[in-house]
Amino acid sequence: MIEAHSAQRKNALFFGFILLLISTSLPNEAMAQETVTTQQAEALITPLYAALAASSPDNVATLLTSVTSPQWESCGGNETCLPRDAVIASVTKRVSAFPELKFAPREVLVSGNRIVVRGENWGTPSGAFLGISSRGKSFRIMTIDIHSVENGKIVKSYHVEDWLRATRQLSE
């Protein structure tokens, strides 16, 4: 019980720190006039994560284009961003090869025009994944995403996934 409380406290402190960084370090132009409500955030992230965890490639483009602007970029690093069409192609390819990947938001925080999502990805690859041959093993990792919203659409997403942990779990 004490360990669970400690983990919850660490998560709360971590997310407080993330929100502090977001609110104090963004350039002036990033501090948009738009304020996203919790309901708007939910309406935007639900289809986005449904696309990322789709079991079929058929709806990926429809789901992603419904909540992202045509100029949307998805960034896996400070300088590593992909435009919407490339993300759609990548997710469609991944869904075809790995239909069992799941995603669940565990915590959603809204600050101005930013949506911060702490989530979980998990799955059991049916073939080689991350350079590791499939042996029926599963993985479960934490993800952190920061989405910027303008005019009711997501215009930029930064994401961090703990793929090193996934490789360790699949290799055990």
Amino acid at 158: Y
Q: What is the pLDDT of residue 117?
A: 97
Amino acid at 75: C
**What is the rounded average pLDDT for all residues in the chain?**
83
Q: What is the pLDDT of residue 107?
A: 96
> Above 50 in pLDDT, residue 158?
yes
Q: What is the pLDDT of residue 10?
A: 53
Give the orientation angle of helix 84-97 with respect to helix 60-67, to 10 degrees. 150
Q: Which regions of 80-138 does DSSP assign to beta strands (E)?
A: 81-83, 102-111, 114-123
Q: What is the pLDDT of residue 58?
A: 87
Report the distance separating Cα 12 and Cα 112, nearest Å: 19
CA torsion, points 39, 123, 15, 28, in degrees to nearest 10? -70
Tell me the per-residue pLDDT of 95-154, one tens digit each, with 9 for 90 and over: 877 778 898 999 999 999 999 999 999 988 877 777 888 788 889 999 999 999 999 999
> Above 50 in pLDDT, residue 29?
no
> Above 80 in pLDDT, residue 12?
no
3-state SS assignment for residue 98: coil
pTM score: 0.78
> Above 60 in pLDDT, residue 81?
yes
Q: Which of 10-19, 50-59, 97-106, 124-133 has the lowest mean pLDDT?
A: 10-19
Question: Which of left, alpha, beta for 123 (phi over 0: left; psi -120 to 50: alpha)?
Answer: left
Q: What is the pLDDT of residue 135?
A: 81
Give the orientation angle of helix 60-67 with respect to helix 38-52, to 10 degrees. 160
How much is the average pLDDT of 19-33?
A: 47
